[in-house]
Amino acid sequence: MKKILSAVAALGLVAGVASTASALEFNVSGHYFLEGVYQSAGEGVGVVPWSGPGEDEASNDAFWRHEFKIKPVMKVNDKIVVKSSIYLADNSWGTEDTAQDGSGNNIDVQHIFMEYTSPVGMVRMGRTSSGLWQGDFLSSDSQANRLMYFPNMLPENVGACFFLQKSAENDGFEYTDDNGTPLLLADDFQTSDTDADSDMYEASVWYKTKDMIAALGYDYMRDATNPTELSTTHRLKGYYNQNFSNMYVESEFQYDFGEVEQDVETVNNQDQDIKTLGFMADVGMNMDKLDVGMMFIYASGTDDDEETDDNSVGQLGEQFQPYNILTGATTGMYVSDFHPADGNLVDAGIISLGVHADFAVSDKLSLNSALVYAEVEADLGPGMDDELGWEVDLGMSYALLDNLTYQMDFGYLMAGDLFEGDAEDNDDAEDVYVLTHRLTMEF
């Protein structure tokens, strides 16, 4: 009898689990692309539009890369949803026999978090996107652990978000260097291991209608992971996007201010003031099958004589790629994607003004083009010019199927005098061209 009751209980348990599982909604979306790249003046770290005295011109690069990303969504019930973002491949095509990301890991679970819809709003917890905000200008699709709250008692069309982000957590862990050697904590900044963290707090609000979104945000960032210094930064940011009949406007700004304090100041290690400004504006017009627009970009840099200041906005957004070379995915100039952004260019900032056009030839075929002039924002010192040069882009996109697209893009950068260096270096500037073609499947 006992065995019979046990069997009945086991069957009931299985039935209960099965009925619960059957109630789940599971959806998966994502993409796979294979891209071929040819770029002149390449050195394996992106493009290099200059060569030193007595050196040969940089050699050309030709390579393939691919990416397979899936985004599963599991809806447990009306209140709970679990989401994730997983890279099964994100590297140079042909370098590995197994699916690996760029760091050599077999699978990169980039994001994984749960959303709970409560009576007072939605709570999101887990490893989420840490660089994305409203626009792409200064956003990077990185990840960090966050606890986020979206209230639901606000007026119609108004939204808000408050969150705590833990970029580095040392609570309960011995604070060591890369070799595992215990480190002494700076008395002025850290009283224990529990203080050697990197945290970020944000409050943002937005107003959204069918044709317009306006958003404002404030961030406070505190980084005490370095035992001999403390970095505190305040950030104000805004985003605006609106359609007016056949016109559109998109703009974004970010202003940072703060300081990096040293526990003990030395000649080569001094306190540093932080003051940066980034701004982007894109204005355009839609005329039936033709879209034309003009884009202005400003990102502050650090002047050559500002030894104790940090005025550099840093790299532009990972997904902000309006130009094939200056902001290209593989060129390693102002955007960190396939290659890290060039530190010298990022520190110098950028000012650019460009025009762009897209023409829909048919439902399947579209053409695009851009022309931009750019220079660095910072003063790089005596004998250094600020001209990055002119860039011309041409491209096309053809839909082979509803979810299969072939795309080809060409960019040519007429390298400016900046790349010639100063009078002492006498480097030779070299024009750069990049050709990419990509096959993308989305599901």
Amino acid 391: pLDDT: 97
pLDDT confidence of 263, banded at 50, 70, 90? confident
**pLDDT attached to residue 179:** 62
- Which pLDDT score is estimated for 16? 42
248 exposed, middle or buried (CB, 10 Å; 0-12, 13-18, 19+)? middle
- CB-based contacts of 8, cutoff 8 Å, min separation 6: none
Q: What percent of the chain has pLDDT over 70?
A: 81
User: Does residue 12 lie within any of the structural domains?
Assistant: no
Helix (H) or strand (E) holding 341: none
pLDDT tens-digit map of 27-47: 999 999 999 999 998 878 888
- What is the mean pLDDT of the segment spanning 328-352? 91
Q: How confident is the model at residue 175 (pLDDT cuts 50, 70, 90)?
A: low
Confidence at residue 17, expressed as pLDDT on a 0 to 100 scale: 40
The share of the chain scoring above pLDDT 90, in percent, equals: 52
Q: Which of 433, 342, 429 is nearest to 387 (CA)?
A: 429
Classify residue 1: in a domain, yes or no.
no
Q: For 89-102, give the DSSP string.
A: EEEETTS-SS--BT
User: Phi and psi dihedrals of 216, rounded to 5?
Assistant: -135, 145
SS3 assignment, position 227: coil
pLDDT at 188 > cutoff 90: no
107 membership: H or E segment, kind and range: none
Across 355-359, average pLDDT: 97
- Between CA 51 and CA 56 the distance in angstroms is 7
CA 88/CA 314 separation, integer angstroms: 29
Alpha carbons 43 and 57: distance in angstroms, whole number: 10
Beta-strand ranges (E) seen in 152-246 are 158-168, 198-208, 212-223, 229-244
Instruction: Summarize the chain as % helix, strand, coil (round to 5).
Output: 10, 55, 40
pTM of the predicted structure, to 2 decimals: 0.85
Q: Note the pLDDT tens digit of each residue in 195-250.
A: 678 899 999 999 999 999 999 999 999 988 887 888 899 999 999 999 988 999 99
Residue entry with tokens 């209960």: 16
State residue 381's pLDDT score. 80
pLDDT score of 397: 97
In angstroms, the CA 247 to CA 16 distance is 56
For position 9, what pLDDT does the model report? Answer: 41
Is residue 128 in a domain? yes
Q: Is residue 401 part of a domain?
A: yes
CA atoms within 13 A on the CB side of 362: 5
Find the radius of gyration of the CA atoms of the chain. 25
Task: With respect to residue 14, please indicate whether it lies within any of the assigned structural domains.
Answer: no
pLDDT digits (tens, 9 = 90+) for 137-155: 988 777 889 999 999 999 9
Is 43 within the bounds of a domain? yes
The predicted pLDDT at position 177 comes to: 57
Q: Give residue 312's domain range.
A: 29-442
Stretch (H or E) spanning 242: strand 229-244
Q: Is residue 343 part of a domain?
A: yes
Q: Mean pLDDT score of the chain, rounded to an integer?
A: 84
Q: What are the strands, taking DSSP E only, across 15-79?
A: 25-39, 50-51, 61-75
Confidence of residue 192 (pLDDT cuts 50, 70, 90): very low
Would you say residue 370 lies in a domain?
yes
Q: Phi first, then psi: give them for residue 407, nearest 5 degrees.
A: -135, 140
Structure confidence at residue 144 (pLDDT)? 85
The CATH number assigned to the domain holding 371 equals 2.40.160.100
Whether the Cβ atoms of residue 214 and residue 196 lie closer than 8 Å to each other: no
Backbone angles phi, psi at 53, to 5 degrees: -60, 130
- Residue 11 pLDDT > 60: no
What is the rounded CA–CA span in Å between residue 200 and residue 143? 13
Under the banding of pLDDT at 50, 70 and 90, the label for residue 261 is confident
The mean per-residue pLDDT over the stretch 338-349 comes to 90
For residue 207, which of 235, 237, 236, 242 has the smallest C-alpha distance? 242
Banded model confidence at residue 440, pLDDT cuts 50, 70, 90: very high
Q: Which residues of 273-304 are buried (b: 16+ CB within 10 A; e: fewer)?
A: ebebbbbbbbebeeeeeebebebebbbbbbbe
Mean pLDDT value across residues 372-382: 90
Query: pLDDT tens digits for 399-426?
Result: 999 999 999 999 999 998 888 875 555 5
Total structural domains within the chain = 1
C-alpha distances in angstroms, 279 versus 135, 297, 325, 388? 11, 6, 20, 18
Model confidence pLDDT, tens digit, residues 90-127: 777 766 544 554 555 557 788 899 999 999 999 999 99
Task: Tell me: pLDDT of 83 over 60.
Answer: yes
